Structure 1
Amino acid sequence: MIELTAKQVVVDGTPRIVMAGEVHYFRVARDEWEQRLDLVVEAGLTAVASYIPWVFHELPDGSIDVEGRTRPERDVAAFIDLCAARGLMFIARPGPFVMAELKNEGIPFRVYREHPEVVPVGWDGVQAPSRTVDYLAPAFLAETRRWFEAVLPLIAQRLQPNGGNVVMLQLDNEVGMLAWVTNSPDLTDHLLDHLGRWVTAKYDGPGPYPVAPGGDGWAQAVRSPEEAWAGPLRRDLGEFMRDRFADYVLALREMAEDLGIRGVPFAINIHGTEGGSGTPFPIGISQLVRTYSGIPGMVSGSDHYMGEATLTTMSDLYVINAFMDAVHDADQPLTSLEFEAGSGDYGAGAEMQYDPSTADLKTRLCLAQGNRVVNYYLFAGGINPPLDEVVDDGNDRLSFTGERHGTAAPVGPEGQRGFAYEATARTVHAVKANESWLAVMDEEHDDVELGLVLDAYATEYHHPGSALMTDAVDDLSQHRGAGQRRALARSLLLAGYRFGAVHLEERSPRPGSVLVLGAGRYLAEVVQQRVVAHAEAGGRVLLLGPVPQLDLDGTPCHVLADALDLGHGDVVRDTGHYYPSVVAHGWAAPWPEMRVGWRQELRPNRGDVVLTDVYGTVCGVDVPLGDGRVVVLAAELPSSRDLFGRALAALGATPGVSTATPFPGVITTTTASADGQRALHVINISGATMPTTVTLDGAEMHDGQPLLVPPRSGYVLPLGLDVAGIRLIGGTGEVAGVEDGAIRFRPLLRVGDGPGHVDVTPGMAVQADDAYEVTPFADGTVRVTPHEAHADAELVLRLDTTSPHFDPAADEPELHIEASAHA
């Protein structure tokens, strides 16, 4: 039985971290399936995920083979059963769209030939440049049902609640992505009729549009909008498509349930990373939020490709997870359905090689934020088979990538161990060693929330000829989310703040909290009202960006500026001959003069000035509002733990866990469970050993001595973990395994000039070999410290209950400390 409860994935009553790897059976010869799965097991993964591509299983005559009649690799059930025989769970991804670099994104050629009406046109009636379709076109839904009827019964028989190993089924893939990346909305006649009814219901008539929705001229008004209604159309089209995608996913779910898929979660894969950047990712959340948010049995999964683990990448990833969680309900966990794995050399041209620690660092950050499913994509490469019909497209193979596929994967196309295999396996084994507590822990948050404005991400469609649409999209894209240059998120992380996010269109920030918001000139009236209400009730706000002036459709909206009694002037930008620079005042000082990309003149009528340009023009203010305060920083500021840390401190927020390091590069956070277990997560992104002094809950840890965190490494350190009958109170060692009642640790992190240590529960007799020193404390806690010669060896703690005189009802077991055989 699979349950989603309290943000956990519970399998047969046990909370789990599902570590999966994507293996495409259709790209691997049938007689090689077992070898690939053996490598999956060796790496420690507990699940396999795979697309099940319609285009591969449908033959040129329209018949569908999922039993292996025409080629052995088409036997879907056999592959799932092979996974089950190795104890591997299975995540099924049957489309209908699958992408995966397949021709037509996984849709058979026949569907386009026989049903040309499903192929959309976009702006100005130009045919879509991608192979997208109108998802709700009757012909496409009928063809999809025919595909589902062929494949889903095989999966239904193998669902985990039915005694099988299928634990999740993904509905479609990256819904809406093709229209976004091409800026070509799916404006078929069928969709426009639906839009017309939607507009009529919203406005009780035509609203801002020049013709009756659905009537003569309606299609022209939408496909080639004039400026008079371009603003409302951009807003309405984004909101309407959210509803339409929700209708589509509901139709797919109902088909699946009719065909026996019940008792396992349905997953939605969220796209949005682009060009190695995670900043546009919430576009996918914006598009798909209504397909899963708050809907029982549904879970969303991230799909991210951002390259090397750097400060930029990790800031993006942290925000992605926070924003995903902000729209979930109390039970929906974070998951990742496509978690970038491998070397990055996707083109087999030796053009990229990520550090092998990349997957480890990203995985650790996601698990610290509560991710319960990680699917490494692509875990094993393969060979793209020839198509069954000749299409004369240059290679006539299933994929446009050519013959070999997955050259960057931990397992290469021919089944060889790739560059990242060993590092990925080490990560997975580390997760397994810590699974029992990670699976039930949630990140602890400070009294700070990052504002999520989903409508600021409804920017996927804008007519290229519309100045208003283009201006809105440009402004929203520059300032939303983590702030321009990621200054908000990156600065908060480096300053030690642990933060979640709040979905501002739907709910208000926590009373009294500090709301951190990146916003531009366009900010919805409802969001401006919530910001004002939050401050008036005693909350605090940090706003980075120009003063909001417009609602999303371009109409004037000065709710926030009026509440602050804050006038504003023009935005001055840098040029080849002008270099705007700013200086700090008040609580923001001292802070060095800093060149910025732009600054806006502010004209405050009350409050304190905290930022000006070098000539004295105000561009940062701290303004009282009701019982609270609002800080507005109207300049393109760089990331700065000092400046933004001072801003948060001035607004009354204190980081619960913070670090002092000589250079940026260390991220820390804490997690805790309902039963009182707690852990400290330390991640060093830099390429140098980083001395890291940690302050937790206001007290310096390790007597104020710095942890020496190795380059490109991460650790889960105990703050109170129950492991094999032992209570780990603290220390600098990560659990590396639990076998036969013994706890094995990774080599302990060093502290200052000496070795690390492990602190163990009070009230226990201890025996140690000569490699370790045991220090008792007044409260009964025992500290175990290796001598220098053994400082870099693995440590084993073992409860000894083997004495013939040991009485479990009366005696405390002895704790034996020894050097590990793994050392």
Structure 2
Amino acid sequence: MIEIINKQIVIDGTPQLIMCGEVHYYRLQKHEWQDRIDKLKDAGCNAVASYVPWLCHEPEEGQFDLDGRTRPELDLAGFIDLCQANGLYFFVRPGPFIMAEMKNEGIPFWVYEKYPEVIPYGWDGAQATTRTLDYMAPNFLAAARNWYAAVMAVIAPRLHGKGGSIIGVQLDNEIGMLSWVSNCPDLTEHVVADFAAWLGRTYGEAELKQRYPFSLEEGAERLKAIRSPEESYSAELLHDLGYYMRNRFARYVAALREYAEEFGVTGVPFIVNIHGTGGGRGFTFPIGISQLYESYTQGPGYLSGSDIYFGDLTMSNFQDLYLINGFMDAVHLPDQPLTSLEFECGDGNYGNNYGGRYDVSAADFKTRMCIAQGNRMINYYLMTGGINYRMDQKIGDGNDRVAFTGERHGFAAPVSPEGELNYTYPRMQRAIKTMMAVKDKLAVMNEERDGVAFAFIPDYYMTEYRYPKSGRTKEIVQNIEANRAYGGWEIMARGMLLAGYRFGSVDIQNKPLDPSATPVLALPCARYLSAAIQRKLADYLNAGGGLLLYGEVPQFDMEGKPCTILSDALGIQVEGFIHNGPHSWPSIMTEGWAAGRPEVHTGFAQRLAPGDGEVFMRLYDSGAVCGVEAKAGRGRAIVIAASYSGDVPLFKTALERLGVEAGLTHDNRHYGIFTTSTANAEGERFLHVLNLDGFEKELSLSERGTKLFGGRKLAVGSKDGYMLPLGVSFGDVRISYATAEINAVSSDAISFRLTQPEDVIAVETERGIAPSEDYIVDEQDGIKLVVSRKHAKIDDKLTLKFV
């Protein structure tokens, strides 16, 4: 039995940490399957994942091959059974869409040819530039149902609980991504009619006529009016299309689940993956959350999973990964854990031209951060490369293969198409095995948090369907895009993390906002914010909450209508704004509690009338106020209404003034250190440390002012990460603390990876520790201090044996 409870994946009563590797069986010769499975197991994984391409298994309508009778590599049942024989769980991804560089994103050609009405149109009636389809078109759903009938006949008898090893089924892939990236909102006649019906259910007749001055009943008129909207209702259309598409995607996911269950798939979670990272950053990832959160929170039995494509995790982007994990968790139902369904691994050589070259720390760092934040399943994508076979049908597209990358596929993977290991494999392997050595602990641990949360507003990311000729929507969207991430992430969130704050996120749009649960809220804010959220923030402040606002004090709702609820509550008025110009270089000066800082150039600032608030930032020359601390009811807000520099002490001081201190701190002046901690209900903990820079750092770590590790300094190696135990027990042995990380546990021994010139492991046990030339043992106050005689840079392996 598989249960999703308490943010855990519980299999047959035991919480599990699932570490998958993606292996595309259909891109390998059947005799190669075992070799790739062996390499996946050697990496430390306990599960296999794979797409199941409809394009390959039903290339012609009604002609299915799921047992390998036309091509041996299409024996899906054989591959799943082989994985089970190897003691591995299986996570299956049967589409209909799978992407994976497949032609038509994995949809058979005959679907497009037989049902041309499902091919979308975009703005002004332009043809879609991607191979997306109208998900809810009756003929597409009928074809998808037939596909599910065939593939679920293989999957259903192999489910965990029914004698098999399948523990999860993904429904479609990256839903809504193609229409988002192309700004083509699938405006078929069917979609437009369905949208009109949705509008009728959402608004009253009088309000609907006010919003849309055209007939929603007359087909030709509404088609033209929605595909080519007038300026007067363009902002309303942006808003309503976004809400409608969320509903449409949720209905599509529900339909696929219904088909899967109809054909026997029950008792395992259905998973929806979230797209949106790009260019090594996470700025647009929340668009995927915004599009799909209604899909995976519409009922029990769903999980969401991230697509993580960040390349190297560095000082530039580490806060992005931390934030998007927080945003995912913020919209989840209480029991839903974090998972990652496409977790980038390999060397980044996607162009097969050595233009991408990741550091060996890339997958390691991302693994460590995601596990620390509570990810219960990670699927390393792509674990092994393969070959795109040539289809029997002549397509006439230049190569006739199933995918567009040429003959070879996955040349960036840790295991090449030919089965060779690349330079990233060993470090990835080390990370996976480190996690799996203590998997029973990590499977139930949660990140410890300080008293601050980062605000998430799904509607700030509902910007994907904007009419390109509308100046009104352009102004709204550009301002929201400028303020929802960028400075809010790179200045405020990065500063908070570097200052030692551990924080999650709160969906302030859909969830309660209570000062008792969230004492302080960090809010990246645009000029536009809905009246409902402004009112919620005002109530939060009045109830005693603390608000750190970075960006702009909102003056309008999300459709551009004047709305000053929040600024009124703060007693602040916005008098205008200034921008950096070709001959203007505005600067900010600090005063009051922020005084003593150098003048900082700014590209933008609001000019504020502070009312009774305490001013701490002004513009040079004009003296206009852009930084205010204001009281509101029993609460307090600190407003930075300007783009500012990465002043870590400033944000630390601001949060302390609001009443929250950083829990984990260090004394290295170079920053570049990420720290957090995880704990379970028994109080067992791990301290997670990443050195994001390419040089070693020495530091002392403190928690709430008390030095850790007996006051010893830690040397954190260049681009290295540690997961150090604090009060972790294995039977009758308790590791009070250690500067080395655990990498294997048995009944009579614990093995460690050393990290220091002289590591110390503090052990509490009634058992003896077997003598060894590798360490000395000194007992102090009932604790056995094991001091390594090995220098970690010479030999980083140490095993304690207990007698």
Q: Which residue identity does 2:212 align to in structure 1?
A: Y
Aligned to 1:202: 202
Aligned residue runs from structure 1 range 347-358, under 5 A: 347-358=351-362
The question of whether the paired residues in 1 share the 8 Å contact of 2:732 and 2:766 is answered with no
Give the superposition deviation at 1:583. Answer: 2.2
Aligned to 1:584: 590
Corresponding position: 1:649 with 2:656: yes
Aligned residue runs from structure 1 range 65-214, under 5 A: 65-205=65-205, 206-207=208-209, 208-214=211-217
Aligned to 1:738: 745
Pick from 736, 760, 775: which aligns with 2:763?
Answer: 760
CA distance in 2, matches of 1:758, 1:213: 72
Give 3-state SS (helix, strand or coil) of 1:161's partner. Answer: coil
Corresponding position: 1:219 with 2:201: no
Identify if the C-alpha distance between structure 1 residues 21 and 526 changes in structure 2 by more than 3 Å, giving closer, same or farther. Answer: same
The one-character-per-residue Cα deviations of 1:662-693 (angstroms, maximum 9, x if unpaired) are: 21211001111012211111111111111122
CA distance in 2, matches of 1:424, 1:663: 27
Greater mean deviation of Cα atoms: 153-162 or 565-574:
565-574
Aligned to 2:475: 471
CA distance in 2, matches of 1:369, 1:485: 18
Aligned to 1:293: 297
The question of whether the paired residues in 2 share the 8 Å contact of 1:452 and 1:481 is answered with no
Q: Which residue identity does 1:405 align to in structure 2?
A: H
The question of whether the paired residues in 1 share the 8 Å contact of 2:319 and 2:489 is answered with no
Pick from 777, 780, 783: which aligns with 1:781?
Answer: 783
CA distance in 1, matches of 2:313, 2:746: 32
The question of whether the paired residues in 1 share the 8 Å contact of 2:3 and 2:9 is answered with yes
Corresponding position: 1:614 with 2:620: yes
Give the superposition deviation at 1:702. Answer: 3.6
The question of whether the paired residues in 1 share the 8 Å contact of 2:755 and 2:792 is answered with no
The one-character-per-residue Cα deviations of 1:590-616 (angstroms, maximum 9, x if unpaired) are: 333222221221111111111112232
Give 3-state SS (helix, strand or coil) of 2:549's partner. Answer: strand
CA distance in 1, matches of 2:312, 2:586: 32
Pick from 350, 357, 360: which aligns with 2:364?
Answer: 360
CA distance in 1, matches of 2:767, 2:605: 62
The one-character-per-residue Cα deviations of 1:602-647 (angstroms, maximum 9, x if unpaired) are: 1111111111122322111000010011111011123332111111
Greater mean deviation of Cα atoms: 669-678 or 131-140:
669-678
Identify if the C-alpha distance between structure 1 residues 735 and 724 changes in structure 2 by more than 3 Å, giving closer, same or farther. Answer: farther
Give the superposition deviation at 1:72. Answer: 0.7
Give 3-state SS (helix, strand or coil) of 2:453's partner. Answer: strand
The question of whether the paired residues in 2 share the 8 Å contact of 1:338 and 1:376 is answered with yes
Aligned to 2:541: 535
CA distance in 2, matches of 1:361, 1:21: 17
Q: Which residue identity does 1:760 align to in structure 2?
A: V
CA distance in 1, matches of 2:322, 2:774: 40
CA distance in 2, matches of 1:97, 1:745: 44
Aligned to 1:663: 670
CA distance in 1, matches of 2:599, 2:767: 57
The question of whether the paired residues in 2 share the 8 Å contact of 1:307 and 1:313 is answered with no
Aligned residue runs from structure 1 range 263-282, under 5 A: 263-282=267-286
The question of whether the paired residues in 2 share the 8 Å contact of 1:482 and 1:488 is answered with no
CA distance in 1, matches of 2:583, 2:185: 40
CA distance in 1, matches of 2:265, 2:366: 32
Corresponding position: 1:597 with 2:599: no
The one-character-per-residue Cα deviations of 1:75-119 (angstroms, maximum 9, x if unpaired) are: 110111111111111110000000001110010111011101111
The one-character-per-residue Cα deviations of 1:440-466 (angstroms, maximum 9, x if unpaired) are: 100011100100000000011100000
The one-character-per-residue Cα deviations of 1:769-808 (angstroms, maximum 9, x if unpaired) are: 4543433333x223222247689553322321xxxxxxxx
Give 3-state SS (helix, strand or coil) of 1:163's partner. Answer: coil
Greater mean deviation of Cα atoms: 472-481 or 361-370:
472-481
CA distance in 1, matches of 2:340, 2:251: 23
Identify if the C-alpha distance between structure 1 residues 610 and 63 changes in structure 2 by more than 3 Å, giving closer, same or farther. Answer: same
Give the superposition deviation at 1:494. Answer: 0.5
Aligned to 2:493: 489
CA distance in 1, matches of 2:626, 2:382: 47
Aligned residue runs from structure 1 range 298-309, under 5 A: 298-309=302-313
The question of whether the paired residues in 1 share the 8 Å contact of 2:770 and 2:801 is answered with no
Identify if the C-alpha distance between structure 1 residues 106 and 789 changes in structure 2 by more than 3 Å, giving closer, same or farther. Answer: closer
Percent identity of paired positions between Structure 1 and Structure 2: 46
Greater mean deviation of Cα atoms: 447-456 or 526-535:
526-535
Give the superposition deviation at 1:724. Answer: 4.2
Aligned to 1:258: 262
Aligned residue runs from structure 1 range 512-551, under 5 A: 512=516, 513-551=519-557
Greater mean deviation of Cα atoms: 612-621 or 104-113:
612-621
Pick from 416, 420, 423: which aligns with 2:420?
Answer: 416
The question of whether the paired residues in 1 share the 8 Å contact of 2:575 and 2:608 is answered with yes
Give 3-state SS (helix, strand or coil) of 1:610's partner. Answer: strand
Corresponding position: 1:28 with 2:34: no
The question of whether the paired residues in 1 share the 8 Å contact of 2:709 and 2:739 is answered with no
Give 3-state SS (helix, strand or coil) of 1:661's partner. Answer: coil
Q: Which residue identity does 1:579 align to in structure 2?
A: W
Aligned residue runs from structure 1 range 418-433, under 5 A: 418-433=422-437
Q: What TM-score, normalized to structure 1?
A: 0.94
Identify if the C-alpha distance between structure 1 residues 46 and 790 changes in structure 2 by more than 3 Å, giving closer, same or farther. Answer: closer
Q: Which residue identity does 1:573 align to in structure 2?
A: H
Corresponding position: 1:401 with 2:405: yes
Identify if the C-alpha distance between structure 1 residues 587 and 782 changes in structure 2 by more than 3 Å, giving closer, same or farther. Answer: farther
Q: Which residue identity does 1:642 align to in structure 2?
A: P
The one-character-per-residue Cα deviations of 1:146-166 (angstroms, maximum 9, x if unpaired) are: 111111111111101111111
The question of whether the paired residues in 2 share the 8 Å contact of 1:445 and 1:498 is answered with yes
CA distance in 2, matches of 1:329, 1:157: 29
Pick from 317, 339, 343: which aligns with 2:343?
Answer: 339
Corresponding position: 1:7 with 2:7: yes
The question of whether the paired residues in 2 share the 8 Å contact of 1:763 and 1:781 is answered with no
Corresponding position: 1:682 with 2:689: yes
CA distance in 1, matches of 2:547, 2:488: 17
The question of whether the paired residues in 1 share the 8 Å contact of 2:22 and 2:48 is answered with yes
Unaligned runs of 5+ in 1: 801-823
Greater mean deviation of Cα atoms: 609-618 or 324-333:
609-618
CA distance in 1, matches of 2:767, 2:485: 50
The one-character-per-residue Cα deviations of 1:479-530 (angstroms, maximum 9, x if unpaired) are: 1147446212111110111001011111233415110000111111111111
Alignment length, in residue pairs? 795
CA distance in 1, matches of 2:613, 2:771: 63
Give 3-state SS (helix, strand or coil) of 1:379's partner. Answer: coil
Greater mean deviation of Cα atoms: 46-55 or 783-792:
783-792
Greater mean deviation of Cα atoms: 32-41 or 238-247:
32-41
Unaligned runs of 5+ in 2: none
The one-character-per-residue Cα deviations of 1:518-554 (angstroms, maximum 9, x if unpaired) are: 0111111111111111111111000101110111111
Q: Which residue identity does 1:114 align to in structure 2?
A: K
The one-character-per-residue Cα deviations of 1:47-76 (angstroms, maximum 9, x if unpaired) are: 111000000111335411111111111111
CA distance in 2, matches of 1:27, 1:224: 43
CA distance in 2, matches of 1:280, 1:522: 18
CA distance in 1, matches of 2:735, 2:16: 21
Corresponding position: 1:796 with 2:796: no
Q: What TM-score, normalized to structure 2?
A: 0.97
Q: Which residue identity does 1:135 align to in structure 2?
A: Y
Give 3-state SS (helix, strand or coil) of 1:311's partner. Answer: coil
Q: Which residue identity does 1:151 align to in structure 2?
A: V
